[in-house]
Amino acid sequence: MAEQVTVEVVYAEPAQHWLRKVTLPAGSTVAQAIETSGLPRDVPGLVVDPSRLGIFARKVTLEHVVGEGDRVEIYRPLTLDPKEARRRRAHEG
């Protein structure tokens, strides 16, 4: 029997979050974990941006091989540029 790994796939919005545990064959990729989780199908409006993925806050690609216990994180696009946010805070203060 082939080895398997269990990983979590997570996505969060301000008012709600989703977490799915999936079991995959060893050697599976981030893309396969996301597809198996069903999140792109089940979360209204979710578009997976390959440049906004991570495992435990470390940026990864769709081709990255997942390991046992990894947490694949799908990040939302920034709503405000960090530099602009700092400028606004400085101006208000």
Burial of 65 (0-12, 13-18, 19+ CB in 10 A): middle
What pLDDT, on a 0 to 100 scale, did the predictor assign at position 9?
A: 98
Looking at residue 8, its amino acid is E
- Cα–Cα–Cα angle for 64, 50, 83, rounded to 5 degrees: 120
pTM given for the model: 0.82
Residue-range definition of the domain harbouring residue 27: 4-92
Residue 60 contacts residue 53 (beta carbons within 8 Å): yes
Q: Which residues of the chain have pLDDT under 50?
A: none
What pLDDT, on a 0 to 100 scale, did the predictor assign at position 93?
A: 65
Instruction: Provide the number of structural domains found in the chain.
Output: 1
Radius of gyration over every alpha carbon of the chain, rounded to an integer in angstroms = 16
Nearest-angstrom CA–CA distance, 52 and 31? 12
- Domain containing residue 24: CATH number: 3.10.20.30
